[in-house]
A and B are shown apart, each in its own frame.
Chain A
């Protein structure tokens, strides 16, 4: 991953508007943001069903309004440690395009914060060095107050083949 490619992706993301409306949430002490347009619903925790043999970061499914949808843990995609749910934990259900098909996916979060607007002018492409996580999993960073908000690149995360540990047979 070089800086040019990252910058290009970053430009694509913002190309259509000067600002973007996002939903922010916390994960492992970091603040992340998702475009509000793709968010379908915020759910209280639901019973999960483990899918043996699946990639660890999508290790379970939930019943979302009669549909069986995968539940993803971005923590694991970014290589953070898995953590227990807290009283503030919620699932965010989003709709993303996977191989040309709109797909509902649930995301674990530690806490859902707010819907807010982020400006293009205060966003930056992820630095090519000094990052704890894979740079291609991040669209951009947006500075707000003293902190950075991370906009993950969901397409890259969900379309890549994660190291499938615990595969069955």
Chain B
């Protein structure tokens, strides 16, 4: 198993961290005075900054530092949390995500704009109310415009363990040298006698005289990644000592101070020709790493697959052992065999639920989307989530994320009316979006429901006709008409602007769902809203199957689709030759002889059985030789070499190690119906 790239590990960690921050922020919008939430967000930002700097994501660390500073002020009670602040940090959080994903891309402008918003949000509370960004920015410009006439005296001491964290003090000194002429004096007084010396610890502090016209922020930039834990004092050697108080806040002025507003810097009266004693800065130690982190472990899905395969092998080896043991008279052997049988059974059960995650992990990200869209569109939206504990395979969750975003967005953009229209239509002012998940047999049904205006059929038809999808005036049933919005040609720029329907990218949604072997249903009532349901099979998960034998082969029929099993008596079999349907309680059910279909070349059993399967609306009988019984099935996908075989949706491994194929019910029902249609046409 390959070792993971550290950067990839950091990205996973960062994503988790950002999710936690986002959840904290969203909760905070409802309870602005909750101190625990403020602390949680602060901790998240702090962790992100720290590990970001450690893994070389410097832009991220620098940017996050500002958000952390803002939250630190809230945490210390200097300013109150406001919805503006939360909104600004939410927006900033997206930027952080971008910095994690593409650390090298140019994000300069966005970053500055976001920081301006952030400072406005924090500053507004601290200083004059409702201060415009420009007004806040002004004193900063003024402050940073003051340059030292001659130079700076810089004293710094790094924490003893900083070299272990990868900080190189020589690099910092080199950076200072880049700013101007430096005289460096090392303070070696703290170095212990040789026998007490730990070679990895740093005992030296430095005293640097920098002759430069550079302003303070340039010096702060040098120390930006270590600022939190170090002691740093900076004084002007000559000329005006200004803005020293800013140091107390340990606020690293950003490189582009002109465009980034900072909290208003108290302007200290100028005291000429007297250096101001700088206050050494000692930041508190990093907050304890999130205690929750240990509760979940991120494991790449392929490792789980691997483990699953190994467990499968173990179960097979165990069944061989059982056989040997049962033929043996050795009591000790038999008892060991029984114990291993029990253990491997438990292991298999545990393994099977390991990949399943609750839908809540998928749904939680919609809180943010709805929050943003409500702000964007000016619509009042209430988000209701149901069935969040429904468990679905992790892969399915990941694949469904984008399509669901699309559907939720569509519901809000096109489905929900603006508050005025809703009131006029006699509805509640706030529209409701309901996200729900539930398990039904071998499928999970995820639906997005809104109580908006519903899909406008005339517009869908007009659009389909104008884009040539259907002939003008072509008669279509309502479901067929609604299905048109999934047509690839349906999404065009026109569809976006005139809100004619929900065509934007729906073909992509449909494709993704079909790749998961699922299906989409739409129900839409004009004026009352729409519901889009995704029916997704629990792929890779366990399904209950009915194991049957056809010829010498064994096959699994998903139990959820099985309606009943009947015996096909010899007389009935003979009678039904030439017509392939049976009469089942006065309704005609077409059937397929699997033996013929699979060309087994064997003789039928005397007592053939009919398994009646159903997709909900249609029924088809399958004639098999023998029903073996219930079988819990782990679905294994078939390789690409068998992509062309539509009859089977996958395969599974039976207790004796042999492979059984799983029948694709949708395909078989369609085949049965086709057969029925042919028979009818033939009269």
Contacts and interface: CB of A to CB of B under 8 A. Distances in A.
A61 B597 contact: no
A137 interface: no
B640 A66 contact: no
Residue of A50, A53, A63, A65 with most partner-chain B CB within 10 A: A63
Given A49-B660, A51-B661, A53-B645, A61 B638 contact: yes
Question: B interface, how many residues as a size bin?
Answer: 35 or more
B639 A63 contact: no
Interface string B641-677: 1101111100111000111110000000001001000
A67 B553 contact: no
Interface string A37-74: 00000000001011111110010011101111110100
B553 to A, nearest CB: 6
B309 A54 contact: no
Contact of A98 (B308, B312, B636, B639): B639
User: DSSP majority for the B interface?
Assistant: mixed
A102 B553 CA distance: 28
A68 B554 CA distance: 15
A164 B312 CA distance: 32
A105 interface: yes
Contact of B639 (A55, A69, A169): A69
Given A52-B597, A169-B671, A61 B640 contact: no
A67 B600 CA distance: 25
Interface residues of A, number: 30
A99 interface: yes
Contact of B641 (A50, A105, A169): A105
Contacts of A116: none
B641 A98 contact: yes
A103 interface: yes
A114 interface: no
A54 to B, nearest CB: 5
B598 A98 contact: no
B34 interface: no
Given A52-B598, A61-B651, A168-B647, A68 B641 contact: no
Contact of A54 (B553, B642, B653, B658): B642
A166 interface: yes
Given A61-B638, A103-B640, A66 B312 contact: yes
A63 B658 contact: yes
Interface string A137-169: 000000000000000000000100000101011
B599 interface: yes
Nearest to A166: B599
B636 A68 contact: yes
Given A49-B660, A61-B659, A63-B657, A70 B598 contact: no
B345 to A, nearest CB: 16
B638 A68 contact: yes
A101 interface: yes
B18 to A, nearest CB: 30
A72 B641 contact: yes
Contacts of B641: 54-55, 58, 70, 72, 98, 103, 105, 158
B274 interface: no
Contacts of A72: 641
18 contacts: A52-B645, A54-B641, A54-B645, A55-B641, A58-B642, A61-B651, A63-B316, A66-B310, A68-B653, A70-B642, A99-B640, A103-B639, A103-B640, A103-B641, A104-B639, A105-B641, A166-B599, A168-B597
